[in-house]
Structure 1
Amino acid sequence: VQAINLTLEERVKTRTADLAMARERAEVLLTEVNHRVANSLQLVAALVQMQMRSVTDTAAKDALRETQSRINAISLIHKSLYTSGDVTNVALNDYLGAMLGNLETAMKKDGHTAILKCYLEPISLRTDASVNLGVAVQELVTNAFKYAYPGDKPGEVRVRLKRLDDGKAELTVEDDGVGMGLNATHAGTGLGSKIIRTMASALQTQVEYINRAPGTLARLVLTTAPA
């Protein structure tokens, strides 16, 4: 009996070691996949940049620039995955902070003078949901930069992410600009607004727009990863 027990223990140890090794190989492979996807998306963004430089139509340039920003937002997700130890969840404060920093730089290069301020609590979200949220936030902040302050008047765009009760989180994008009464682009029917609605639907939520007079606040509530 003792010999049988020893044999079973050895088999369990061997099986456990094999499973641990297989899991490690899978994690390494997934990290490499995320690395390659991020690099491929950066290449696509660079090609869009080249195309943007070759066109003279202002509307076409703007469309390509926004496309490039969307690609970069998704690329950052994969970059955060291969540089972190967690391939299933994304630290939103790090991801959104990096993405919004890049977006502010791009907006200022285009001549927009608003100042972006971020207040992001450390909250995690599953990877697929983080992609949807990142694209939605990208569109909301871009809209605020472009339309809240006509004539590139100075102002602020504020992004807040905070934890709520029952595993929820609240994301808001707020400005002190002209508001929705004079400018309905925030909740209009353009491509950006359609993208926002689609991303919110994928998150099983919706964006609430509040006319603050002055300014507009866009708010969405989502389910987060377990703390």
Structure 2
Amino acid sequence: MNCLEKAVEKFSVLDRVPIGICVLREDFVVLFWNRCLENWTKIPKTKIMGTDITQSFPHLSEPKYASRLKQIFAGGPPTIFSSQLHKHLIPAWLPNGKLQVQHTTVTAEPAPEGGYYALVSIQDVSDLTQQAQNYRFMRDRALAEVEERQQAELAVQQVNDQLQAVLDAVPGLVSWVNSDLCYIGVNHHLCAIFNQPPEAFIGQKLGFLESSLDFADFIREFFLSDRQADRKVIETTSKQIQGYYLIAAQKYQQGQAVVAVGIDITEQKKAEKKLQASLQEKEVLLKEIHHRVKNNLQIISSLLKLQSEYIKDHDVLSVLSDSYNRVRSMSLIHEKLYQSSGLAQIDAAEYIKSLVNNLICSYQYLSNRIDLEVKIEPIFFDIDTAIPCGLIINELICNSLKYAFPEGKAGKIDIKLTTDNRGYLDLEVSDNGIGLPADFDLEMSESLGLQLVTNLTNQLEGQIEINSQTGTVFKIIFPKKGNICPVVSVA
């Protein structure tokens, strides 16, 4: 019986063990190859036994393997090829397509003919290695999560400390309140006013220190509303805190909590009351000034009217009449101002309609045959715009009434005031009378009224356009001033 047959007979008991077993002679010839290795490597024992193992696995001839195997052949102590450093001593493929991770032990086994064989025991530790890796991964992840949580808690604490520092620096009373109207936090200003530590507020109902009940009512109503933010001025008269406070409130945590900031505006309120009283006093004085100016202008217009009754010369009478109308137009402005609530602005439509009605009264003998139509957009004038604009309308309407409809001719006069999207106002005074002479030149005109129109248009920084193809059209375009604004209707 040769050594191969002797080895098979000796080691046949290891043929069915669930680990890979092979026996090598000192010349690296395979003497035994069990079924487990056959299944792992798909190499039948009949093919590999009796051959040099390095023919099937050349890497075993490398010094790191061969030198350690030679120590075994010399009867040395067992040697281990761990799964960490030598994962695939006899490469084998798993069903998932990956290489098997192996833990290999090589021991010296006495040979019948003398010397030693190398008994190679191979354990498949793939599952065990994967479980170890999974454990390490889970351990590392758990440690990382713990560290992240600690870092997050530290960051939250730092943010809370920073927020508390900021809110403590706010020159006002800051409190956090939950939907049960209980304090969940306060800043040091609020604590200092009531001489209480922050802990004394936590969990207490609003008003527990006999503070303003208006604040509790405001917060209660705010919680019941759909608003996310609100503000209110409240007056508090408690022992610890007195005066006016502007309360600004903001919801958070899906509306389940509110942060409120109270700013002391007592001094501002006092100043506001003083200012209001001063403004009312000045308003009374200003109304009195406008009233007196209006009265003085009415005295002048009355004198002119009275004087005209003694004038027989038609030209002089015309001059007095024109002067009367001019003074009356300015008097009307001051009358509108002291009757208005704003004192600084005049309703353009109301003023121009009153002005036109006064002119009609001055020319009663024409009122039956001259139709006047006024179309004014809702605009407010200040006095610096109203006076020149009113005088321009006065001159142009008087000019039409006197010259556009000779010999009892009937006609129509239109007055329009509109705005455009360029920031300009368009004033148009037109009639369907006989028109201007063919050689008419505004700059060369000797008419005092038209010279006034030119000068007043320049005062408004405007331009004049004249069209006399059908009747006469005076169109004056001038820029809106910053204090000219549209009328706001109050429902």
Could you state the TM-score of these two structures normalised by the residue count of structure 1?
A: 0.90
1:61-210 equivalences in 2 (<5 Å): 61-109=317-365, 113-181=369-437, 184=440, 188-210=445-467
- Residue aligned with 1:14, SS: helix
What percent identity do the matched residue pairs reach?
A: 25
Q: What one-letter code is carried by the residue in structure 1 that aligns with 2:392?
A: A
State how far apart, in whole Å, the 2-side matches of 1:198 and 1:204 are.
10
Cα-to-partner distance string for 1:107-156 (whole Å, 9 max, x where unaligned): 23368832211112211121111000000110011111111122231111
Native 8 Å contact 1:147 1:185 kept in 2: no
Native 8 Å contact 1:129 1:203 kept in 2: yes
Larger radius of gyration: 2
CA offset at residue 173 of structure 1? Answer: 0.7
Q: What one-letter code is carried by the residue in structure 2 that aligns with 1:193?
A: L
State how far apart, in whole Å, the 2-side matches of 1:216 and 1:53 are.
32
- Residue aligned with 1:124, SS: strand
Cα-to-partner distance string for 1:171-194 (whole Å, 9 max, x where unaligned): 101111112235849773210111
State how far apart, in whole Å, the 1-side matches of 2:359 and 2:442 are.
18
Counterpart of 2:485 in structure 1 is 226
More helix by share: 1
Could you state the TM-score of these two structures normalised by the residue count of structure 2?
A: 0.43
**Relative to structure 2, which stretch is displaced further, 22-31 or 132-141?**
22-31
**Relative to structure 2, which stretch is displaced further, 63-72 or 11-20?**
11-20
Structure 1: 5+ residue runs without aligned partners?
Answer: none
Q: What one-letter code is carried by the residue in structure 2 that aligns with 1:191?
A: L
Counterpart of 1:40 in structure 2 is 296
State how far apart, in whole Å, the 2-side matches of 1:135 and 1:58 are.
23
With over 3 angstroms needed to count, the CA separation of the structure-2 counterparts of 1:42 and 1:183, relative to structure 1, is farther
Count of residues in correspondence between the two structures: 225
- Residue aligned with 1:145, SS: helix
With over 3 angstroms needed to count, the CA separation of the structure-2 counterparts of 1:67 and 1:175, relative to structure 1, is same
State how far apart, in whole Å, the 2-side matches of 1:112 and 1:194 are.
29
RMSD: 2.3
State how far apart, in whole Å, the 2-side matches of 1:64 and 1:184 are.
25
More strand by share: 2
With over 3 angstroms needed to count, the CA separation of the structure-2 counterparts of 1:97 and 1:28, relative to structure 1, is same
CA offset at residue 23 of structure 1? Answer: 1.0
Counterpart of 1:23 in structure 2 is 279
State how far apart, in whole Å, the 2-side matches of 1:116 and 1:152 are.
16
CA offset at residue 42 of structure 1? Answer: 0.7
CA offset at residue 59 of structure 1? Answer: 0.7
State how far apart, in whole Å, the 2-side matches of 1:169 and 1:42 are.
30
With over 3 angstroms needed to count, the CA separation of the structure-2 counterparts of 1:138 and 1:186, relative to structure 1, is farther
**Relative to structure 2, which stretch is displaced further, 154-163 or 61-70?**
154-163
State how far apart, in whole Å, the 2-side matches of 1:118 and 1:206 are.
21
Counterpart of 2:57 in structure 1 is none
Q: What one-letter code is carried by the residue in structure 2 that aligns with 1:74?
A: M
State how far apart, in whole Å, the 1-side matches of 2:321 and 2:467 are.
28
State how far apart, in whole Å, the 1-side matches of 2:430 and 2:403 are.
12
